[in-house]
Each structure stands twice: as C-alpha cells, then as structure tokens.
Amino acid sequence: MDTFLPFIVAGLVTGSVLGLAGTGLVLTYKTSGIFNIGHGAIAAAAAFVFYWLHIDHGLSWWLAGLIAVFVFGPLFGLALSAMSLRLSNQRPALKVVATVGLVLLVQGLATVKYGFNSLRPQPFLPKATKIVRFGGVNITYAQLTIIAISLVAVALLYYFFRVSRTGLAMRAVVNDPDLVALHGTSPRSVQGLSWGIGASFAALSGVLIAPTAGIDSVTMTFLVVQAFGAAAVGAFSNIPLTYVGALVIGVFSNVITKFAIDAPALRGLNTALPFILLLVALMVIPKRRLDLPSRSEQPPKIPYQGPAATRVLAGVVVLALLLLGPQLFSGQLTFLTVGLTQAIVLFSLGLLVRTAGMVSLCQAVFAAIGAVTFAQLADRWDLPWVIGVLLSALIVVPVAALLALPAIRLQGLFLALATLGFGLSMEAWAYQKGWFFGTTGTGRPMPRPGGMDSDERWYYVVVAFFVVGALLMIVVHRSRLGRTLRGLSEAPLAVRTLGLNTNLLRLIVFCIAGYFAGIGGILYGSTVNYVVLGDQYYAAYYSLVLVATLALMPFREPWYAVVAVVAALVPAFWHSPNAQPWLNVLFGLSAIIIATQGGADTLPQKARDWIDRRFARKRDTGPLVAVEADPWTMPPNASGLEVRDLTIRYGGRTAVDKVSLKASVGQITGLIGPNGAGKTTMFNAASGLLTPASGQVLLQSQDVTSLNAAARGRRGLGRTFQLMQLADSLTVSENVALGIESGMAGSNPRGQVLATRAERRATLEAAEYAMELCGISDLRAVNAGQLSTGQRRLVELARCLSGPFDTLLLDEPSSGLDPVETERFGETLTRVVETRGCGILLVEHDMALVLRICAEIYVLDFGKLLFHGTPEEVRTSPVVQAAYLGSETGTRSDLIEEAVG
C-alpha cells in the first residue's frame, strides 16, 4: 500500500482541482442550460492573468490571486452570462459553436501575448514546499492547502445551492424562468450570479494548478476539460457526486501511471480515463436525465441558393482558378493544397453539422486514422495508389459506425461531448502508441502516386479529389439521402412518424462523413509527406477549429468549402509568427458573434434579387409529372385507429387514464378537451412517441402497441404536430415528398441512400397530387421557411397525403389561422376524406370547426374520457359545457367522476 500512497495523494490534489472546475461547470449548466465546452479556457485565462500580475508586474501572490479569481473570474462569468442569454433559444449546434469559439479566442490571445512555450510560476502558497510525513509519504503544504481549499469551496457552494433562497432560484431558473420572475427574483440576475460563481471556480482551479501543470493555453484548457468526466459522473446535475467523481478520476489516473511504468500498453490511459468515463456515462445515464426542458428554438437561417445558371457559372470560374493555381500562387502552392485537403474534411463535417444537424468534434481524428492506415498499407502492400487511398478511408467507416452509437442515443450537446471525448481519448492513448504514428518520432512516410512527386503535379491530384468530392456533395444533397437528412435536422419527429428509421440514417451519415474525413486526412498527409504525432491538423483540438470555420462560412454546399480554401491562403500572405494565433482569435470571436446571431448571414436580399433578375430565375416551373388520379387507394380491409383502455403516466402522475376511442376511415373524428386534458399525450402514444403504462393501440385491427413510431408510419398512420414540423430549407414539393420518401427509405439501407427510377416517379406523382388536393401547387418551388402559417399547415397536411396513410392524426391544425383560413382548411379536410376515403382524428380547440366537420367527437378532461357522441350531442351536453365553462352545481372533477361512472 505504501507504494500507492504517493500516487493517491497526487491524485487527490489533481482531483481536487478538477472538482473545483467540474462543480463550477455543473452549476452554470444547471442554471442556464448551456454546457460550456470552453470552461477550461476560463481557467487558462485566469492563470495567465495571475501570471501577468504576479510575475510580470510584481504583485504579491495573494493579491494577484484575489484579482484573478474574485474580480476577473466573475467579470468573465458575467460576459458569459450575457452570451448564454443570447444562446438560450438557439439550436444546440450553435451553442456548441459559441463555446468552441471561446476556446479559440482565449488560446489565440494567450499565444499572442506569451508565445507557444509553457509558463511555470514557482509554488506561491504559504509554506508551499514544506513537507509533512503521512504513512511514509512526503506531502507538501501546497498539496494539503489545495485539497482543503477545494473541499471547503465545494461544501460552501453545495450548502448555498441547497439551502439559500438564491440557491433555490438557481435550481428553478432553467426549468421555469417565468415562475422565478413571478416570485420577485430576476432570472437574469440569478443566471448572472451562477455564471460568476462558476467562472470563479474555474479561475481558482487554473490558479491553483498553475505551478504544477504550467500555464499553457492549449494544455491547461484540455487539462480542465478532464472535468467533463467528473461532471458526467455527477450526471451533469449533482455537485457532490461531481466532486467525488473528480477525486476518483484524479486518483485512478495517477495510479495508472504507476502501472504504466512496466506496462507500455497502459501509457496514455491515465490521460484518456476522464474521457472514457465521459463516453461511458453518456451511454448509461438514463436519457430523460440528460434532457433539459424544451425551449422554443429559432429556426435556422436558410442559405441562399442562386439560380442554376449562376451556380454553374460560379463553378466554372472556381474550377478555372484552381487549374491556374500553380501560376497564380506559385509561392503559396503548399498552402493552397493544404486548404483543398481541409476543404474535403469540411465536406465531411458539413454533411453532419449543416445537413443532418449533428455536431461532431472528432473529424480530425477520423482524418488521422485514415492517414495512418494508408501509410501502413503503403508500407506493407504493393497496392495501386488510388486503391490504397479508397481502401484506407474505408477503415475509418467502422470506427465512424461505432461512434454513431452515441449519435443514435444522443443529440445536440451530448453528442458533441461524446465525439469530443472519443477524439481526446484517441489522442491521449492511441496516438502515443508505436503502432499508430510509428516509433521513430519522424512519423510514417506518406507516398504519392508515381510521377506525382512534384508539388505542382500533386496539387492537380488534390484538385481532382476536391472536384469529385464537391460533385458528390451536390449529388448527395439533391438525392433522397440529402432530403431525409435535412428532414432529420429540421423536422425529426415528422420524418420519424412518417416511417423513416432515423437511427439507421444517423449511422449512414456518420459512415459517409468518416469516409470523407479519411480521404482528406490521407491527402493532407501526402501533401506534407509524413503523418506524424504533433501535427496540428490531426490533433483533437483541431476539430474545434473545423467546427468554428464551418460556422463562419456562408452559402450552401459545396460553396462553404470553397470559401474555406480561400481562408487557408491567408497565412501564406500574412508573414508573422503570430499569424495563426490571430487567426484563432478572429475565428473564435466570429464564431461567438455568429452563433449568438443564429448562424452565418447569407447574401443580402438586394443581392439575391439582383442575381435572380439578372439570370431570369423562374420561381415555379410547373409540375414535373402529370397526375390525373390519386396514386393511393384505400385497402379494402382498412378499419382505422383504435385505442383500448390506454393509460399513460409521467412519474407518479397519470396523464391519461384508461381511455378508449376509435377513429374510423371515411370520416373525421374529433378529440377535444380543455388545455392539459391529455389530447396531445394521446396522440403521442397512438403514434408511438410515448410508451403507455397499459392498454392497446390497434391499426387496421392489428395490435401495434409494441411497434415504434416509424413502424406505425409504414403501416399507414400519419400525423401532423401542434408545433409544425417542416424542413424550412427544403421547398414545398420536397417537404411534401418526405411523406412518401420517409416510408420508402424506411429501414432499408439502399432505400435510404438511393431511389430507383420507379420510386422517383412515384414520389413526384404522389407529391404533386397531394399539393393539388390541398391547393398549394403554385407554391411547389418556394422554401417552406418563407410560407405563412396557413400555408405551412397545408404543407403539413399535404405531406401526410403524399404517403400511403389511411389514418391521419392532426394536432391543432388550425392553430395560428385566421377565420377565413380556418374555413378553407376545414373544407380541405372534408374534401380529403371524401376523395381519399381515409380517416382523420382531429385534436382542435376551434369548437366551431370541430362541430362543423366531425362525424363524432370524444371529449377528454383531466386525462379521462368525459363524453362521446355526435356533434349535436356534444353541443348540448351539460357535462361538456361544464368542462369548458365551469359549473354552478359542482366542480369539474365532480362532474367527471359522475360522467365516467
């Protein structure tokens, strides 16, 4: 045991520092809903401020420490609080981009000021080097002081958080800021205080660890990132467990270093341990504990896509400039070549982030895996060069598929954390092994194809790969895969309930993205001739740079990558040792600004209008196919939807209690009730988005209770949503086509990627007929994001009608419509049932609409079936009137008990 004590003590010290950072991180996350990936940047910035005051300007250590922790820390926290307020209603991807920008900003500024070398102040705590003996182990006063400070600080924070009125407000503000405001407390003040405290804890951790770890912008940032593992142990919510998790990480990491002395395979595992714990925790923590209360999100900005003639002309100009690259940039050809290789990696990242809405922070590691694989294949096998490249990139695919498992379970922030954890684990452990980058220190040689040894000839090889990659991106985005990916990003519940296996789709897109990243990594390695440990383009940290770069790029695919190539040339003309740090500052600051504004701006409207006029853009080219009859016919045995004795519980609360209803085909059935009666809950259970506690859901007399939402969609159950689910970046016709394409793609890998000619024609016919039926054919070429509320409701309905759905669940479809639009919408529904013969179950608050178009109506209140009858019976029922208007003779609950027996 004595041999372990020195490692345990050192681990407790490291764990105490990580515990400070981790508890501050959990505090800010619990109170704002923003997980600060740049939390380590606060620690690094505070450590640099301490060094500047104490070493550069001679302030006493205690005064410099007070300023760094209790002045700079809270001020930094207040700035982050203001940023978090601007981010609160942004999409998860933009929240990640903003915090990534913080990392780049701090690292860039620190490097500009102090260079790339690590600074190491002398131990400054009182009697820091004085030693006490415990169990035969020398323990310094500095170590004891750090443990004591962290323990007291975390205990005080926990007491404050659990006992004080302000602590109660902090716990409540992220769930219901309006309720906090009603009690006389400003939600902004509460969040500002929590960010100030959280930043101060991070600042304290940075100052305390500085003499031991040194002060280096990259190293310290990622040292504190290890606190993410501690936060995961605490399920991102429990402060004491987070602190305990940090101590466990610190101790085990240091104990591993002892075993690694005699076991080389364990080397690097000590650094990777926090990130491995992060990955494991994200996979085992119940998903409901990772989900924050939903908030309305700003819709994504729709990138401008010019007329086809404009795009073709721009493509020809870009290709011509690339072919003239060696003549135009003879002295900067390597920079241009590297830019093209990174543009291919950006294709990979853009497919995930921009198209599918999934944030990956490990694309640089995918690139490294591809490059290392190619180097080893080239060394051991005499394969043709192109075959070697294509096969080596294929090795990345199973790795990407493995990483798609978190993508299936997690979205947004936690997917970003999982991919970051994977990347950092690989860098800490696999990168250090001889079988990866080699044992010589010079890396592995990366051959070029025969006759392409000169930089100019090699440049044209890279150009060819870039052009092919750009064309493939265009093809992907114009295909079924591209449309369903945009649907997954912007209307995930819709495509899921329409029959699409979204888990398989996530797996496919991760594999494709991994393949592209592997190609980019191989081409970059061959450009610099070696794949070597320490190359910034293979570092896990570089994945953050890629995400920030992508956030800055305007336009759609593949044009954002073209702009990135131009940006790669900047260092070639900026001859300064600080060029790269200043670029990081620029990228980081721009990423923060763009993320808080809701994404990169596209072309101004005046420029769009000029381009459209100049190239005579036609907004509506008319139908692509002629449709004379409904492409779908009702099955002869169709009976509609039936729900039997359905009970749904949330925790200890019963939301729906033994409700039975039936929505037959050939008619519209109404489902009404006051707010909170359980109507949407019934819809979610019927469509497979919720699992009932008991009861049955039958579709066409078949029990589908055990089937998921996609399987029910493929069996003929379609639905719309109270909060409309449309892909705003797609046109009306493309949105409507998702109704049939989602089911065609289903769980078939081939169907998800490629559509046959017959399927494409069937899709066009079904979409065109649905648009004609709903009266929106003239809008087919308009982006959904440009439509009015009434038009969007009709597009949702048409999307259901384009698929082979014989029962439709419509959730408050008239919400947001004016009386005239509501009248027309009701007429459309009646016409749909008469023409198609399908059944509709309608949840609606507009009683006039319900009473006019429904054949029968079910009334819910407090989760129980209150009444069932014809519109006239519902109109005259005293029980229904009491549910809506109240009663003079008894409470609503008394009347419900009487009604249900």
Q: Are 93 and 591 in contact (CB under 8 A)?
A: no
Integer Cα distance of 208 and 14 in angstroms: 10
Tokens of 714: 């493929």
Q: What's phi and psi for 694, nearest 5 deg?
A: -160, 170
Question: pLDDT for 98-112, tens place per residue?
Answer: 888 898 899 889 988
Cα 493–494–495 angle (5° rounding)? 100
* pLDDT at 900 exceeding the cut of 70: no
- CA-nearest of 375, 295, 320 to 84 is 295
The CATH architecture to which 663-716+805-901 belongs is 3-Layer(aba) Sandwich (3.40)
Residues 6+ apart with CB under 8 A from 143: 9, 10, 12, 13
pLDDT tens digits along 520-567: 999 999 999 999 998 889 998 889 888 888 887 877 888 888 888 888
Region 740-769 average pLDDT? 90
- Whether 896 has a pLDDT exceeding 50, the answer reads no
What's the predicted TM-score (pTM) here? 0.88
Q: What angle do CA 437, 439, 444 make, to 5 degrees?
A: 45
**Whole-number pLDDT of residue 547:** 87
Residue 197: the pLDDT is: 92
pLDDT at 582 over 90: no
Q: What was the pLDDT predicted at 617?
A: 55
Q: How many whole angstroms separate alpha carbon 282 and alpha carbon 278? A: 6
Listed in order, the ranges of the chain carrying CATH 3.40.50.300 are 663-716+805-901
Asked if residue 212 has pLDDT above 80, the reply is: yes
For residue 177 the two structure tokens come to: 């800021």
pLDDT band at 126, cuts 50/70/90?
confident
Give the pLDDT confidence score for residue 571 in this predicted structure. Answer: 82
pLDDT mean over 677-689: 89
Counting Cα atoms < 13 Å in the Cβ hemisphere of 469 gives 32
Give residue-wise pLDDT tens across range 15-31: 999 999 999 999 888 88
* The two structure tokens encoding residue 580: 């790269």
Choice among 157-161, 371-375, 601-605, 706-710 with the minimum mean pLDDT: 601-605
Q: What number is the average pLDDT over the span 806-816?
A: 88
The total number of residues shown for the chain amounts to 901
Q: Is the pLDDT of residue 867 over 60?
A: yes
pLDDT of residue 199: 94
Q: Which of 135-144, 638-647, 777-786 comes out lowest in average pLDDT?
A: 135-144
Where is average pLDDT lowest: 93-97, 316-320, 437-441, 881-885? 881-885
Nearest by Cα to 526 from 442, 443, 446, 436 = 446
Segment 745-758, tens digit of pLDDT: 988 899 999 889 99
Instruction: Evaluate if residue 94 carries a pLDDT over 50.
Output: yes
**CA–CA dist 345, 370 (Å, integer):** 11
DSSP letter (8 states) at residue 655: E
**Nearest in space to 526 (alpha carbons), one of 577, 473, 450, 436:** 450
* Of 783, 334, 687, residue with least CA distance to 493: 687
User: Are the CB atoms for 391 and 383 separated by under 8 Å?
Assistant: yes
- pLDDT per residue over 825-845, tens digit each? 898 899 888 888 889 999 988
For the chain, how are helix, strand and coil distributed in percent, rounded to 5? 65, 10, 30
Candidates 571, 561, 318, 323; CA nearest to 459 is: 323
Confidence band for 226, pLDDT divided at 50, 70 and 90: confident
Percent of the chain with pLDDT over 70: 93
Residue 642: phi and psi, rounded to 5, are: -135, 135
The whole-angstrom separation of Cα 479 and Cα 722 is 29
> In a 3-state reduction of DSSP, which class is residue 458?
helix
Structure tokens at 454: 């000169």
Q: Are 54 and 64 in contact (CB under 8 A)?
A: yes
734 in Cβ contact with 483 (< 8 Å): yes
**Contact in structure between 488 and 356 (CB atoms under 8 Å):** yes
CA angle 233–237–243, rounded 5-degree value: 50
Other C-beta atoms closer than 10 Å to the C-beta of 78 total: 16
Q: Taking 80 as the threshold, does the pLDDT of residue 416 lie above it?
A: yes
> Which residues, in sequence order, are bridge partners of residue 697?
643
pLDDT at 612: 74
Does the pLDDT value for residue 621 go beyond 60?
no
**Residues 275, 419: Cα–Cα separation, whole Å:** 10
User: Do the beta carbons of residue 178 and residue 154 sit within 8 Å?
Assistant: no
DSSP-derived letter for residue 646 is E
Q: Is the pLDDT of residue 894 over 80?
A: no
* Tokens linked to 181: 């405001």
Crossing angle for the helix pair 757-774 and 732-745, to the nearest 10 degrees: 130
- Taking the C-alpha atoms of residue 28 and residue 42, their distance in angstroms, rounded to an integer, is 13
Question: Rounded distance, CA 369 to CA 362, Å?
Answer: 11
In this predicted structure, the answer to whether residue 190 has a pLDDT above a threshold of 70 is yes
Residues of the chain within CATH 1.10.3470 domain(s) are: 5-289
For 658, the 3-state DSSP assignment is: strand
Residue 607 pLDDT grade (very low, low, confident, very high; cuts 50, 70, 90)? confident
Gap between the Cα atoms of 352 and 419, Å rounded = 12
**349 vs 356: CA distance, rounded Å:** 10
E-only strand ranges, 286-414: none
pLDDT on residue 175: 61
Other Cβ atoms less than 10 A from the Cβ of 145: the count is 16
560, 566, 568, 574 alpha-carbon torsion, rounded to 10°: -140
pLDDT band at 374 (very low <50, low <70, confident <90, very high): very high
Token reading at 380: 């051991």
Quick: pLDDT tens for 228-255: 889 988 888 888 999 999 999 999 998 8
CA 282 to CA 215: how far, in whole Å? Answer: 30
Residue 79 has pLDDT above 90, yes or no: yes
How many Cα atoms are found within 13 Å in the side-chain-facing hemisphere of 503?
11
The residue type found at 115 is G
Paired sense of beta strands 717-719 and 807-811, if any: parallel
Residue 609 has a CB neighbour count (10 Å cut-off) of 12
Residue 885 has pLDDT above 70, yes or no: no
DSSP readout, 485-547? HHHHHH-HHHHHHTT--HHHHHHHHHHHHHHHHHHHHHHHHHHHSEE-TT-GGGSTTHHHHHH
Amino acid at 697: V
Query: Domain 5-289 falls in which CATH fold?
Result: ABC transporter involved in vitamin B12 uptake, BtuC (1.10.3470)
End-to-end distance of the chain based on CA atoms, in angstroms? 71
- The confidence score (pLDDT) of residue 141 equals 87
User: CA-to-CA distance for 253 and 276, rounded, in angstroms?
Assistant: 12
Of the listed ranges 277-291, 415-429, 706-720, 865-879, the least confidently predicted one is 277-291
Instruction: Share the mean pLDDT of the chain.
Output: 86
CA–CA gap between residue 789 and residue 506 (Å, rounded): 30
Strand order in the sheet with 839-843: 717-719, 807-811, 839-843, 668-672, 856-861, 864-869
Residue 38: is its pLDDT beyond 90?
A: no
Residue with the two structure tokens 């390695």: 525
Residue where the block lists tokens 């505070």: 46
Yes or no: say if 656 and 682 are a contact pair by the CB < 8 Å rule. yes
Choose between 133 and 468: higher pLDDT.
468
Give the type of residue at 384.
P
The reported pLDDT for the residue numbered 532 is 93
Whether 793 shows a pLDDT value over 70: the answer reads: yes
Which range (137-151, 557-571, 800-814) has the least confidence?
557-571
pLDDT at 895: 46
SS3 329: coil
Query: What tokens does 574 get?
Result: 């900026």
